[in-house]
Amino acid sequence: MSAIPPHDTAAIGILMLDSRFPRIPGDAGNPLSWPFPVVIRVVRGASPQRIVREGGGDSLTAFVDAARALVDDGAVGITTTCGFLSLFQKALAEAVPVPVVTSSLAQVEMVNRTLPAGRVAGILTIAASSLTQRHLAAAHVPAATPIGTTEGGWEFTRAILNDEPALDVALARQDNIDAALALQEANPHLGAIVLECTNMVPYAPAIAAATGLPVYSIHTLVRWMHAGLCPPRFAT
């Protein structure tokens, strides 16, 4: 077996959608969002429209090729910048020799196990109208998991899915807060929120403050994966 890379030098490979919307600090596609090195490959043609609203189309081959290139670049694990890529989890994991986590949705079942009796994790997604049972099943999301969405808000869903070159961060934050509060109000047994969308990560603190609930995201999941791949070294 190869030696474990130092914790602060081992890189996670990120498969990024082909997009132009601003990737603000916290966004999974912004290298400064991560406490460890990342290497990024843009998957050409994989627009937000194609992946979210069109189910990925015929882009799997491009994702596989990009994932293999990231491994060649030294990535010790692979992730993506879209939770809807849960559909590609099995194929990508089979295509490369390193761990792969394509979607934040993969942690819903795990979060449920941490919660008090009678409480469940809910999902906040950028587009509930496009999030199908296929996406949920591919991530092993339990049946009847509550789902909320930023669709119908002022800014967030429109700017991201239409791939607009500007984003009003304050309005996007408010869209996420409003959607999380609506999800909580509709589900009194809600015990935590899992953010499907990797572009929601910057708003996680505001969501947690507004709801009083734990908030999980692609950031929490990939940090967990990285810690397993490259355990922190402690003085002994």
pLDDT tens-place string over residues 173-232: 999 999 999 999 999 999 999 999 999 999 999 999 999 999 999 999 999 999 999 998
Closest CA to 19 of 81, 83, 102, 85: 81
128-142 pLDDT per residue, tens: 999 999 999 999 999
- pLDDT for position 10: 83
- The reported pTM is 0.95
On whether residue 2 sits in a domain, the answer given is: no
83-128 pLDDT per residue, tens: 999 999 999 999 999 999 999 999 999 999 999 999 999 999 999 9
Q: Tell whether 122 and 171 lie within a shared domain.
A: yes
Per-residue pLDDT band for 65 (boundaries 50, 70, 90) equals very high
- pLDDT for position 4: 47
- pLDDT for position 7: 46
Share of residues in the chain with pLDDT > 70 (%): 96
On whether residue 55 sits in a domain, the answer given is: yes
- pLDDT for position 236: 76
Which residues, including other chains, have CB under 8 Å from residue 173's CB and lie 6 or more apart? 202, 203, 206
Q: How many domains does the chain have?
A: 2
Q: Tell whether 159 and 65 lie within a shared domain.
A: no
Q: Tell whether 124 and 156 lie within a shared domain.
A: yes
Q: Tell whether 59 and 113 lie within a shared domain.
A: no
Residue 116 sits in a domain of what CATH number? 3.40.50.1860
On whether residue 3 sits in a domain, the answer given is: no
